[in-house]
């Protein structure tokens, strides 16, 4: 085997391994970004549903903080 051929196969093998690592990292980052975007999109919907389902304390005009004696 010639030195040039061996060098070619080594570089080709390393480039395949490095490319596979880069693609796998990219896919993992895309999954994380997709989860973050979906969570941020669902927060207002869940908030509105919870506000409708859970009755909160009604505010009155005669609140103690608003009146002075």
pLDDT digits (tens, 9 = 90+) for 3-35: 889 999 999 999 999 999 999 999 999 999 999
Can you give the residue range of the structural domain that contains 42?
27-51
On whether residue 60 sits in a domain, the answer given is no
**The pLDDT of residue 57 is above 90:** no
Half-sphere exposure of 68 (CA within 13 A, CB side): 0
Tell me if the pTM is above 0.85: no
Averaged pLDDT for residues 56-62: 61
Q: For tokens 């051929």, name the residue.
A: 5
On whether residue 33 sits in a domain, the answer given is yes
pLDDT range class, residue 56, cuts 50, 70, 90: confident
Structural domain count of the chain: 1
On whether residue 57 sits in a domain, the answer given is no
């Amino acid at each position: 085997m010639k030195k040039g051929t061996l060098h070619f196969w080594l570089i080709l093998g390393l480039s395949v391994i490095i490319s596979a690592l880069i693609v796998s990292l990219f896919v993992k980052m895309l999954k994380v970004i997709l989860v973050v975007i979906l969570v941020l999109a669902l927060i207002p919907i869940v908030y509105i549903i919870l506000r409708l389902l859970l009755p909160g304390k009604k505010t009155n005009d005669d609140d103690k903080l608003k009146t002075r004696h």
